[in-house]
Chain A
Amino acid sequence: MTTHHDQELSELKDKLLTMASLTEEAITQAVKALVDRDDEVGRKVKASDDAIDRLELEIDEMAIVLLSKAPLARDLRFIVVAMKISQNLERVGDEATSIAKRAIKLNREPQLKPYVDVPRMAELALSMIKDGLDAFITRDAAKARAVLPRDEEVNAMHKQLQRELVSYMLEAPPNISRCLHLMQVAKRIERIADHATNIAEEVVYLHEGRDIRHLKAQGADD
């Protein structure tokens, strides 16, 4: 039997999924704006960020109304987790916008180097977001946990790219401004992976009721 209450929870879930698909699309398009040197695509990313922001507000509003009905156990965890996921997605949207802006600036100058690492890194970060949200839908805590180690891979790629860009800067001062833009792009992607990690941790909490955040920092990693 689907109750009125179940239906309201499912509306919240649907809204979160809409937000997630817009956010994933924003990442894809932001990287496309860079790789294809397409300003028009970059401008669309900025526009789509408004829709993502609006959804964050709508999700919070729905969640607050649902919390006022004093849900418990899984329902309670679901609503709190939905709010946290939406907050992370909103930040991911901001990162995508920031990448798009840098792409538009980079498009005004000749391409510094072939973009290989940036799209790879972005693809990995995007897969982390996607898998975290899949795990949210399919109630698959193991899949959410599998997202977590990939953050280290993204971090390693980020460091490597930084080193490479530093060497470009040392080679020729005219490279510096483009390198700085690219460094920012890499940093934004690295942050997207951090948000994906947060989302995956929330999904584990939703399905298992266990809070696995900051376990490494506390030296209690299991």
Chain B
Amino acid sequence: MATLSNVTLSAESIAAMPAAIEARDVKLYYGASQALKGITMTMREKLVTAFIGPSGCGKSTFLRCFNRMNDLIDNVRITGRIEIDGQDIYSKDIDVIELRKRVGMVFQKSNPFPKSIYDNVAYGCRLQGIKNKSDLDDIVEQSLRGAAIWDEVKDRLQSSALGLSGGQQQRLCIARAIAIKPEILLMDEPASALDPIATAKIEELIVELKKDFTIVIVTHNMQQAARISDQTAFFYLGELIEFDTTKKIFTNPAKQQTEDYVTGRFG
């Protein structure tokens, strides 16, 4: 299926798409301070949803709720409900390791393991018990191709991942994330440390990846959100101020606060 461009995608057609992540009245507290003030929104399957907003608005915190990364932080309390494929991911019978296989993550700073390029990609699969060399070879090649880095590394798969450039390392991390075939990819400012060419490659890759994955991306770069995302959510002080098609948010937002933020007048 050809991916729809965010220039033509309408709010009506998005509303008819199956939900990938449904958040209902999500509140999150770090000790006594409240970081998320009741967020309700639905992210759709195989779309790119961008979270924008000034630093400290809660967008990264919210993103980390989807694979329960906040569990790793002391003193965090979450209320409300988050469903992935209709399943409450905070229910007691959820296996968090299993959840994180379904919901992969790419971080702002690329974080390859100090291992070979091949082993970085194969790592998650080996943990899952895939031992067969030719199966692993296939997965590594597919994942590296999927992350648009295969041609650059195919002749040096056994070299250390740490010898790659920043942009290559980030694409390697994306290859590592997709190797275990998640349904959802969370990206927390994946291109903010990269130069424009490496950024363009990551952006191109994100648009390619949405054929197979649901993507949620946090970005400070509004033009990046405008280029790659289908839906955009604007957060401010822990609240979801506006959530609509990217086209609407960046050409004619409904809320004055959104308008002021995207035109650079506050935030």
Complex A-B: 24 CB contacts under 8 Å:
A3-B264, A3-B265, A5-B264, A70-B223, A71-B263, A72-B222, A72-B223, A72-B226, A72-B250, A72-B262, A73-B250, A73-B251, A73-B252, A73-B253, A73-B258, A73-B259, A73-B263, A74-B259, A74-B263, A75-B263, A76-B250, A77-B251, A209-B251, A209-B252
A3, A5, A70, A76: the one within 8 Å of B251 (CB): A76
Q: Which interface class (under 10, 10 to 19, 20 to 34, 35 or more) fits B?
A: 10 to 19
State the majority secondary structure of interface residues on A: helix
CB distance from A82 to the nearest CB of B (A): 15
Chain A residue with minimal CB distance to B250? A72
CB distance from A213 to the nearest CB of B (A): 15
Within the assembled complex, what's the spacing in Å between the Cα atoms of A5 and B259? 15
Q: Which interface class (under 10, 10 to 19, 20 to 34, 35 or more) fits A?
A: 10 to 19
Q: Mark B216-255 against chain A: 1 for CB-CB distance below 8 A, else 0.
A: 0000001100100000000000000000000000111100
Binding site for B on A (CB under 8 A): 3, 5, 70-77, 209
Binding site for A on B (CB under 8 A): 222-223, 226, 250-253, 258-259, 262-265
A77 B252 Cβ-Cβ under 8 A: yes
CB distance from B246 to the nearest CB of A (A): 11
B262 A73 Cβ-Cβ under 8 A: yes
Within the assembled complex, what's the spacing in Å between the Cα atoms of A209 and B256? 13
Within the assembled complex, what's the spacing in Å between the Cα atoms of A77 and B263? 11
The 5 closest A-B pairs by CB, nearest first: A209-B252, A72-B262, A70-B223, A72-B250, A73-B262
Within the assembled complex, what's the spacing in Å between the Cα atoms of A71 and B265? 11
Chain B residue with minimal CB distance to A9? B263
Within the assembled complex, what's the spacing in Å between the Cα atoms of A75 and B264? 10
Within the assembled complex, what's the spacing in Å between the Cα atoms of A76 and B253? 12
Within the assembled complex, what's the spacing in Å between the Cα atoms of A12 and B198? 34
Cβ of B253: which chain A residues have Cβ within 8 Å of it?
73
Within the assembled complex, what's the spacing in Å between the Cα atoms of A73 and B257? 12
Within the assembled complex, what's the spacing in Å between the Cα atoms of A77 and B264? 15
Cβ of B265: which chain A residues have Cβ within 8 Å of it?
3
Cβ of B252: which chain A residues have Cβ within 8 Å of it?
73, 77, 209
Most buried by B among A3, A5, A70: A70
Chain A residue with minimal CB distance to B227? A70
